[in-house]
Structure 1
């Protein structure tokens, strides 16, 4: 007696379902990154989100989202979204981005006139800079 074939036939709806599930996961990741970026731009997150924008990459055949990438808004370079912090440090801080200037001037190079305190001309200046009174 011949053994019966017990493997179920491959159904094309199963692969579509798997593609749709993958697309749903990618879209969820994208929405999460957009939410983090929105909060960061409002001041509640990392500085680099002002320069990195999440974007969806779509499958040409199905039109479904297949990946999330980060685009540098300064130079239009595209990176993996797997580790945004690493992307920021490698691309922005290390000088790879031609349009990002993060050079910090040493305090010794700042002229005294530009380093003047903004409150020195206010009414509070007399409190902070007045000579001590003798009794």
Structure 2
């Protein structure tokens, strides 16, 4: 089995919420988060999420999803080349992966042994498209 490709940090955490308005008010007022304007279209298209929030320093992101799915997860970020290598690495580890084109980013979704859904994400959209 090959070594895992390089990650560049955590991009965002997935959080399941019962009421998007209550959650948004909490994360705004208590934590100082606000909606990421350039990603607001995701929530506008699919009203169950993700609603992407970021802190004032723009260093922490949260993806809010409406529902009571019992899984949460972490989205790890990487560059374009590592994204392609992650896809192969997860396949080599015999882990089922779903690849998604989000129009501004690419993601690989997979589950850990406890059923949590994690993500490898890359915002180098054009570079990934050329490599795939």
> TM-score normalized by structure 2?
0.25
Higher strand share: 2
**Bigger fraction of residues in helix:** 1
Higher RCO, Cα 8 Å, sep 6+ = 2
Greater C-alpha radius of gyration: 1
